[in-house]
Amino acid sequence: MTQNQPRIGIIGAGPSGIACGRELLRQGLTDFTILEALDAPGGTWRVQSYPGLACDVWAHSYSFTYAPNPDWSANFVERAEIQEYLAKCWEEFGLRPYTRFNTSIESAHWQEEDSCWRLRTEAGETLDFDVLVNAMGNQHTPLYPDVPGKDRFLGESWHAARWNHDVDLDGKRIVVVGSAASAVQIVPELAKVAKHLTVLQRSANWIMPRNRRFYTSAERRMFRRFPRLIALTRRVQGFLMGQVEHAATIGHPRMDQFEWYARQYLARTIDNPALRAALTPDSRYQCKRGLISDDFYPALKRDNVELIASGLEEVTENGIVTADGRRIDVDIIVYCTGYRILDFDRIDVVGSEGQSLAAAMGDTPKAYKGITTPGFPNYFFAVGPNGLVLNAPYFKTAERNVETIVRLLKEMGESGIRAVDVRRSLTEEYFHWMTTQFGKFSWGSPDCHSYYTNAAGHAPFLFPGNFKHWLELHDAIGLDDFNVVAGGDVRPQPSEKSRSWIPSLVKQRS
Ligand SMILES: Cc1cc2nc3c(=O)[nH]c(=O)nc-3n(C[C@H](O)[C@H](O)[C@H](O)COP(=O)(O)OP(=O)(O)OC[C@H]3O[C@@H](n4cnc5c(N)ncnc54)[C@H](O)[C@@H]3O)c2cc1C
């Protein structure tokens, strides 16, 4: 702690780490370091490099609210452009002097006697911080299917998240395992070069057309000259994203309308009745993440592409066996099988009670309003369990979360408090309330099994509400919601007003 300024460590220089650094500077906290494993900022958009990688949120909305970009080339943009935008923001926000690249964190242990976090890097260095912000991202670690034989395959295989650019794909027999978010982007690219491409689909997804359109230079000039046009564009997009929340709400007419629209698109694009039937989902809209693509269905119609509506059963020396018993010889296997979402064991975090974060989180990760959890003083998630709002662009939620965190840090400094730990009872109360809300949404319903739910059937990823609701919850966060662990006075219990947010909001919304 220097001159009432806590030493703050931020792990990760993706969108949320950049937002956090910018917010710290804005609120006058300057003793911080962004620790990034890679050699440049950009997070996901730096790590991932599979062919076809693009954002499925409109570019003008997938941007910092305070850094609109008139130069987006299209309404939806690809990886390189987003990475470039993030690097530019990082530079313009003045974060260069505060960032350490090529610094991979392996562990973070709370030091009771010094009230600080002791971090260990992969290189064996030790770093101490009073406050730690986890901005490590929640979709990072590749998830492979649990099937026998993966190691005995004699050809090349890799996960979409760790693309092997050294292998020539031209004229190869390739199988893509999976048909969700990354597969719909990869398949059209592989289809152009593969001799034969097999796509294994365990369950069909709702797919809407992306309607990608490049902006003309005149349009970009207008965006530059009249920034209000960008604000207006975001507003329209925000309204449309709001409809996605309705479409995920059980009983809301928007769900049927979205499904009808997606079915029409499928019928328009795929003539073959058997293929159309195979591509028709049997789950409700947004139980699995809704997808957008202009070129996935057309790719499946090519002569060199086959969709098999069956999962992967086994990998052999020369290929694969599908769940419905087909043996297929291939040269390359690409696993598009998702990520270990919220993998709290990615680094070894040990809190004040000697418990690891991974163990504390278990199957039902609990975080008070998505940003902090009991037993881990001065540890904050930029976007933690149930800390992401479905109907808002990622940037907006991340910006709001880090704004709350930095506000709390400022208030701590002003009150001479060095360390706080969120009250367990309040966190339990909040969590209990959330469990009463999940069933309202297709992605949180007990009969939905998707990447939104874990093996225990719990849905730890999304907040069961909308962005307006999220803002209300974050406005109500105060230091009274925390126990003081070091420095300052013991805080009073949360006031009636502060404690009553759950029932009052439930009442408003039921
Ligand atoms: C393939 C893919 C496609 C996606 N597409 C979309 C999309 O279309 N729309 C959308 O809204 N979202 C999408 N997402 C989600 C996307 O991750 C978020 O939108 C956003 O990038 C998350 O930002 P973040 O800063 O929280 O985390 P990340 O972008 O994941 O950044 C985390 C950073 O932390 C660093 N890091 C991790 N562990 C350590 C460590 N131990 N030590 C040091 N540094 C570490 C990483 O290197 C990385 O730079 C996608 C995710 C993936 C994986």
Looking at residue 487, its pLDDT comes to 84
- Terminal-residue alpha carbon distance, the chain: 46
Please report, rounded to a whole number, the percentage of residues in the chain having pLDDT higher than 70: 95
CB atoms inside a 10 Å sphere around CB 427: 19
Cα–Cα dist 86/69, whole Å: 11
Residue 144 · residue 288 · CB < 8 Å? no
> Which is nearest to 467 in space by CA: 288, 285, 237?
237
Ligand 1 contact via 15 beta carbon (within 6 Å)? yes
> What are 193-220's pLDDT values in tens digits?
999 999 999 999 999 999 999 999 999 9
Ligand 1 contact via 169 beta carbon (within 6 Å)? no
Which of 22, 49, 121, 139 best tests ligand 1's pocket when mutated (most atoms within 8 Å of CB)?
Answer: 139
Residue 139 · residue 43 · CB < 8 Å? no
Q: Which two tokens stand for residue 271?
A: 């003539």
Ligand 1 center–CA 305 separation, angstroms: 31
Ligand 1 center–CA 12 separation, angstroms: 9
Average pLDDT over residues 221-249: 94
> Which is nearest to 92 in space by CA: 2, 175, 25?
25
Ligand 1 contact via 83 beta carbon (within 6 Å)? no
The H or E element spanning position 484 is strand 482-487
Nearest CA to ligand 1 atom 38: 136
Ligand 1 contact via 384 beta carbon (within 6 Å)? no
The H or E element spanning position 22 is helix 15-26
Alpha helices of 37-168 — where are they, by DSSP H?
A: 44-47, 79-92
Ligand 1 contact via 417 beta carbon (within 6 Å)? no
Sheet with 105-111, side-by-side order of all strands? 126-129, 116-121, 105-111, 348-350
Nearest CA to ligand 1 atom 48: 43
Residue 393 · residue 239 · CB < 8 Å? no
Average pLDDT over residues 1-25: 91
CB atoms inside a 10 Å sphere around CB 364: 14
Looking at residue 488, its pLDDT comes to 76
Average pLDDT over residues 233-251: 93
Predicted TM-score of the model (pTM): 0.94
Q: Which two tokens stand for residue 255?
A: 């769900």
Please report, rounded to a whole number, the percentage of residues in the chain having pLDDT higher than 90: 87
Cα–Cα dist 380/412, whole Å: 14
Alpha helices of 362-466 — where are they, by DSSP H?
A: 394-414, 424-435
Residues in the chain: 510
Confidence class of residue 325 from pLDDT cuts 50, 70 and 90? very high
pLDDT at residue 254 is higher than 70: yes
Cα–Cα dist 320/308, whole Å: 12
Q: Which two tokens stand for residue 424?
A: 């367990």
Nearest CA to ligand 1 atom 53: 139
Q: Which two tokens stand for residue 31?
A: 């003793």
CB atoms inside a 10 Å sphere around CB 306: 15
Ligand 1 center–CA 44 separation, angstroms: 4
CB-based burial label for 168 (10 Å; 0-12, 13-18, 19+): exposed
Beta-bridge mates of residue 175 = 198, 333
Q: What are phi and psi of 424, to 5 degrees?
A: -65, -45
> Which is nearest to 206 in space by CA: 56, 37, 378?
56
Lowest mean pLDDT segment, chosen from 41-45, 291-295, 371-375, 443-447? 443-447
CB-based burial label for 355 (10 Å; 0-12, 13-18, 19+): middle
pLDDT at residue 473 is higher than 80: yes
Q: Which two tokens stand for residue 205?
A: 């997804």
Nearest CA to ligand 1 atom 50: 44
| Coil, helix or strand at residue 222 | helix
Query: Please, what is the Cα angle at 435 between 208 and 370, to 5 degrees?
Result: 75
Cα–Cα dist 187/338, whole Å: 15
Q: Which two tokens stand for residue 407?
A: 């506000």
Ligand 1 contact via 37 beta carbon (within 6 Å)? yes
Looking at residue 452, its pLDDT comes to 83
Which structural domains are found in the chain, ordered by start? Answer: 8-41+95-140+342-509 (3.50.50.60), 156-335 (3.50.50.60)
| Coil, helix or strand at residue 303 | coil
Residue 207 · residue 307 · CB < 8 Å? no
Cα–Cα dist 148/316, whole Å: 8
